[in-house]
Amino acid sequence: MSWSKLKQQLEGFLCPALVGRVEYRAPGYRYLTDKSGICYISVDKKNVLNMSDKNSFIRWYQTELEIKNDLAIQIPISGDEIEEVRKNTKGTVPEDRLIVMARSRKSSEYAKELLLAQAALSKSNFIVEANKYLSTPLEESIESKDILLNILALVDRRLGKKRILNMSEKMKLKHPIVQYFYELRRNA
C-alpha cells in the first residue's frame, strides 16, 4: 500500500478531538525498500515519535555487541536451541562451537527485543505495523506488546471514553511514549 493511502486510512481512524493535532508524516514520499527513510508522529506540529531507517541497524549491531561483550550478562542456552543450530549446520560443527553459535543467536534476539522496547522504530517498521493495525481488531492492538500498535489504538475513534478511563492501571506498565499518547487521548 502506498504511503498516501496508508496515511489517509490511519488519519480516518483518528478520534475527532485529535484530528489536526496528531499527524503521521514521512518527508520522503518516494520510499523504496533499499533506501533509508524517515517517518514520525507529530502532535501539535511537534515531532513526538521519530522513526528512522538510517540508524536503527547500526544501533541494533552496537546493542548486540554490548550484550556479547558484557561478561555480567549470562545468556542461558537450552538443549533445544543447541539442537536447532546442529540441524542448521548439518552436524558438522564441534559441540563447543554449537554452544557459542546458539548463544550468539540468542544475544541477537535480545538486542532486537531491547531496541523494540526502546522504541527504536524505523519507517519500514511503521509501514508494516500500520498495515498490521488496520487488519487486526482494536482489542488485540491495545493488548499488544508493540509500542506502535498501542499508540495507534489509543488515538483510534473506536476506543470509547469509558474504556479509556478503565485502562489507567494497564497504561502505567507501558512504555513512556504510550503513556504520553494515553494522557493525550484522555485529556482530549
pLDDT in tens, 98-141: 888 888 888 877 777 766 655 556 556 778 888 889 999 999 98
How far is the C-alpha of 156 from the C-alpha of 22, rounded, in Å? 11
How far is the C-alpha of 121 from the C-alpha of 102, rounded, in Å? 26
Q: What is the percent of the chain where pLDDT is above 90?
A: 13
Domain boundaries, the chain: 55-117
Average pLDDT over residues 53-61: 58
Strand order in the sheet with 46-52: 22-25, 38-43, 46-52
Structural contact between residues 149 and 160, judged by C-beta atoms closer than 8 angstroms = no
pLDDT at 42: 87
pLDDT at 70: 77
Average pLDDT over residues 60-70: 72
Q: Rounded to two decimals, what is the model's pTM?
A: 0.64
Mean pLDDT lowest among 61-65, 74-78, 159-163: 61-65
Residues pairing with 40 in the sheet: 25, 50
